[in-house]
């Protein structure tokens, strides 16, 4: 029997545990008992893009509580294969990353190239589908929540339209799911967001689960009531929240991520400051050079610019 969704573990936590944390996401979608949950989500992604639904999946790197997840972990992703041989890689990313598109392609390429062992033939390669759930915007607002990329031909002139319909291979599909864009689906009258497809329900749940007031969201409660697969995911989420050891590891990972982010911000600020200092020094040297060209003495230039006579000596007028 499922628990009452209005009385969820972790609802009174001081800091919410977010499903968009890769550590939590892998527990919910990448555990050995999560195959039906993962299949349901992947099917929603595929069918939303007009691609075949996903048959039963096998999770190839199941979550293990003994693993240590910190900010230095390469990727806490979910990898699966369906009965047709298609490989799926699923990653969630909460913090913005400038080169995330390149990173997504790199991980797809790793999964594709990693299929063949020594002496195996290229015909043994299976399609790889990359699914990237991100809590930041990658593409312009004019693009939808869900964007899918394939390998298609470009063209020019009279053959342009015909060339663009040509697919090099069906072995590549990379999905990007931008959660912040789901917030733009409000009705014109300012009412509750309109969530009509299975994928929209999954994304609404992923985005909202972990918010302090999640269980006051009537849309989220309705989704949990009507979709048994998402309700199963909620059960997994509550199991995570109820596990003290997992909560501690989650907090350690969040702290490591914050520390890493702080280091990046500090380095960026230091770089900006150095850039400003270098820019000011160049400007000062340019002024000194113009003064020199007008015949002013080094002592006069030093008095007006604050540069030393030795520094002025190295400047050509």
Nearest-10 Cα torsion for 207, 190, 229, 147: -60
pLDDT at residue 184, rounded to an integer: 46
Instruction: Identify the H or E element spanning 58.
Output: strand 57-59
Q: Tens of pLDDT along 255-280?
A: 777 666 666 666 667 766 676 666 77
**pLDDT class of 32 with cuts at 50, 70, 90:** very high
Domain boundaries, the chain: 22-183+193-242
Give the angle subtended at the CA of 40 by the CAs of 2 and 225, to the nearest 5°: 35
- Predicted TM-score of the model (pTM): 0.75
User: Are the beta carbons of 41 and 30 closer than 8 angstroms?
Assistant: no
**pLDDT class of 12 with cuts at 50, 70, 90:** very low
User: Are the beta carbons of 249 and 17 closer than 8 angstroms?
Assistant: no
Lowest mean pLDDT among 15-19, 93-97, 118-122, 293-297: 293-297
Q: Which residues pair with 82 in a beta bridge?
A: 57
Residue 314 pLDDT greater than 50, yes or no: yes
Give the angle subtended at the CA of 30 by the CAs of 244 and 69, to the nearest 5°: 50
User: In the predicted model, what is the mean pLDDT of residues 239-255?
Assistant: 88
Name the residue with higher pLDDT: 204 or 279: 204
Give the angle subtended at the CA of 192 by the CAs of 189 and 197, to the nearest 5°: 115
Residue 6 pLDDT greater than 50, yes or no: no
Tokens of 270: 């230091």
CA distance linking residue 277 with residue 271, whole number of Å: 10
pLDDT at residue 102, rounded to an integer: 96
Average pLDDT, the chain: 82
**pLDDT class of 68 with cuts at 50, 70, 90:** low
Residue 316 pLDDT greater than 90, yes or no: no
Lowest mean pLDDT among 9-13, 67-71, 213-217, 260-264: 9-13
């Amino acid at each position: 029997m499922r628990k009452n969704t209005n009385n969820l573990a972790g609802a009174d936590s001081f800091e919410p545990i977010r499903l968009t944390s890769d550590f939590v996401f892998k527990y919910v979608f990448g555990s050995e008992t999560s195959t039906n949950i993962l299949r349901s989500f992947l099917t929603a992604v595929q069918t939303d893009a007009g691609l075949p639904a996903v048959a039963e999946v096998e999770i190839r790197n199941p979550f293990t509580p003994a693993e240590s997840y910190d900010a230095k972990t390469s990727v806490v992703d979910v990898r699966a294969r369906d009965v047709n041989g298609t490989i799926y890689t699923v990653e969630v990313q909460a913090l913005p990353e400038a080169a995330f598109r390149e990173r997504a392609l790199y991980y797809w390429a790793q999964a594709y190239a990693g299929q063949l062992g020594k002496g195996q033939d290229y015909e043994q390669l299976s399609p790889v589908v990359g699914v990237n759930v991100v809590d930041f915007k990658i593409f312009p607002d004019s693009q939808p929540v869900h964007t899918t990329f394939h390998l298609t031909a470009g063209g020019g002139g009279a053959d342009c339209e015909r060339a663009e319909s040509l697919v090099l291979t069906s072995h590549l599909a990379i999905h990007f799911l931008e959660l912040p864009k789901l917030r733009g689906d409000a009705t014109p009258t300012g009412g509750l967001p309109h969530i009509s497809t299975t994928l929209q329900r999954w994304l609404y749940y992923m985005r909202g689960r972990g918010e302090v007031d999640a269980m006051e969201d009537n849309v989220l409660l309705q989704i949990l009531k009507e979709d048994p697969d998402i309700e199963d995911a909620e059960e997994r989420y509550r199991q995570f929240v109820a596990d003290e050891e997992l909560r501690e590891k989650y907090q350690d990972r969040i702290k490591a991520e914050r520390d890493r982010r702080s280091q990046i911000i500090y380095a960026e600020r230091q770089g900006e400051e150095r850039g400003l200092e270098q820019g000011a020094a160049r400007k000062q040297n340019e002024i000194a050079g113009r003064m020199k060209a007008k015949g002013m003495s080094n002592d006069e230039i030093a008095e007006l610019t604050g540069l030393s006579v030795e520094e002025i000596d190295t400047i050509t007028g």
